[in-house]
Amino acid sequence: MSNTLQAVRGMNDILPDEAEAWEEFESLVRGWLRSYGYRPIRTPVVEPTPLFKRAIGEVTDIVEKEMYSFTDALNGEDLTLRPEGTASCVRAVLQHNMLYQAPQRLYYLGQMFRHERPQKGRYRQFHQVGVEALGFAGPDIDVEHILMCQRLWDDLGLEGVRLEINSLGSSEERASHRAELIAYFEKHEALLDADAKRRLHTNPLRILDSKNPDMQDLAEKAPRLSDHLGEASLKHFEGVQNLLKDAGVPYRVNPRLVRGLDYYNLTVFEWITDKLGAQGTICAGGRYDGLIGQLGGKPAPAAGFAMGVERLLALWREHQTGDMGWAPDVYLAYMGDAAQRMAFGVAEELRSGGLSVLLHCGGGSFKAQMKKADASGAPLAVIIGEDEVAKNSVMLKPLRRELGQRAVERGALVEEISEYLFEADD
């Protein structure tokens, strides 16, 4: 084994072939977000630890065991690498008084950090595209978010992504459900696993979400939150469902969908695929009307969602056909010092003309250069030798078609190449 250093476990390098797909995805996503009127916000990757404790909740997996927290050695501040984007987004909106004038539709895109056990689709550094709408109270914005997702899946050509929704009601309704739930689990305490016992009095709702097969039956028969929802919550949920039906978006109400972050109320939703194994949730979110007040702002309603970019891209790749690798328009080869100097000028002229050019670097025989030209995937090579320098012209050589090379005057090169590429595209 060599002693070269490796990346941190669960944190991935994204190599060029893949990174190009990421860039394509990101530009598609930015266009999609703009078309719904969402504006970008960029917040720091590191935040004060109390932000996440307050927002996500002390008794959650994320805060209890997944945060990369540390003390700043220079000033003793408690800091954390962000495990999600909602808390940071709300903090920034409050800090800059952005809700003062109007509600805000915002999005962000970037890395998040959670110290989870890495496996396919679950990483310690992962990326999210997150969307937050602050200052909107009605079911309409919840449905806007769900419809946005549906459109993105359609634009990406994804199939087999299903929608599950639930209502978590208000905090009072959850409190009354919680009391009943604790009483129920206490009655069956002998059947609880260690995790559930620990959560019984702190976060019993999360027991419903247990992945332990032995707990499924108990969770299935547990008192339901839906039986505790009051008129306003039911009306909101009905509003969401009516709009979804109007839009023709299929969904399933999953009464056990509770989410792993404490800030949610009313509508919550998840988009799930069966094609990625255990980590099938590609996107999740919901309403968090209490969070702004909880973080010290004047209370205002809000809702949002985030998708896992690694999971989404894994799914997208399954549907992509053909080669996604990048290739330049032109590979530029040359022989001799004078030709090299001319090649630098020609390459810049081609780029000014909107073409992408790989200029040969590193010397080598003409044969070796042409091998590299072939391997680059470029449809055309531009070749400059001593004769070409003397005549201020170049040789243009198609690499992917049975056509001979021909001399082209330097001033006419951009046009010739553009025409060739246009025809080859037909």
Strands 357-359 and 125-134 come out as unpaired
User: For residue 23, what are the contacts with CB-CB under 8 A and spacing of at least 6?
Assistant: none
Beta strands in 82-209 (DSSP E): 104-113, 125-134, 161-167
Helix axes 309-319, 16-35, angle to 10 degrees: 100
Residue type, 110: G
Cα(215)–Cα(39) distance, integer angstroms: 43
Burial of 217-229, coded b for 16+ CB within 10 Å and e otherwise, reads ebeeebbebbebb
Q: Are 256 and 159 in contact (CB under 8 A)?
A: no
Q: Are 53 and 63 in contact (CB under 8 A)?
A: yes
Q: How far is CA 48 from CA 90, 114, 243, in A?
A: 14, 16, 39
Nearest distance in Å: CB 283, ligand HAM: 6
Nearest distance in Å: CB 267, ligand HAM: 11
Encoding tokens for residue 226? 């839906």
Nearest distance in Å: CB 360, ligand HAM: 40
Q: Are 128 and 114 in contact (CB under 8 A)?
A: no
The runs of H, that is alpha helices, within 188-328 are 194-199, 213-220, 231-247, 291-294, 309-319
Q: Are 225 and 208 in contact (CB under 8 A)?
A: no
Nearest distance in Å: CB 318, ligand HAM: 16
Cα(30)–Cα(23) distance, integer angstroms: 10
Encoding tokens for residue 249? 């978006």
**Based on CB atoms, which residue is closest to ligand HAM, 81 or 384?**
81
Could you tell me which of 57, 323, 24 has the C-alpha nearest to residue 202?
Answer: 57
Nearest distance in Å: CB 292, ligand HAM: 12
Nearest distance in Å: CB 42, ligand HAM: 16
**Based on CB atoms, which residue is closest to ligand HAM, 285 or 301?**
285
Q: How far is CA 12 from CA 7, 175, 278, 300, 311, in A?
A: 7, 41, 19, 38, 13
**Based on CB atoms, which residue is closest to ligand HAM, 91 or 360?**
91
Q: Which residues bind ligand HAM (CB under 6 A)?
A: 84-86, 114, 116, 122-123, 126, 128, 130, 132, 260-261, 281-286, 288, 304-308, 310-311
**Based on CB atoms, which residue is closest to ligand HAM, 260 or 398?**
260
Strands 69-71 and 78-81 come out as antiparallel
**Based on CB atoms, which residue is closest to ligand HAM, 270 or 329?**
270
Nearest distance in Å: CB 279, ligand HAM: 7
**Based on CB atoms, which residue is closest to ligand HAM, 114 or 228?**
114
Nearest distance in Å: CB 126, ligand HAM: 3
Nearest distance in Å: CB 251, ligand HAM: 16
**Based on CB atoms, which residue is closest to ligand HAM, 92 or 200?**
92
**Based on CB atoms, which residue is closest to ligand HAM, 260 or 364?**
260
**Based on CB atoms, which residue is closest to ligand HAM, 173 or 270?**
270
User: Which residue's CB atom is positioned nearest to ligand HAM?
Assistant: 308
Nearest distance in Å: CB 264, ligand HAM: 7
**Based on CB atoms, which residue is closest to ligand HAM, 125 or 176?**
125
**Based on CB atoms, which residue is closest to ligand HAM, 312 or 330?**
312
Nearest distance in Å: CB 273, ligand HAM: 10
Largest CA distance in the chain: 95
User: For residue 421, what are the contacts with CB-CB under 8 A and spacing of at least 6?
Assistant: 329, 355, 379, 380
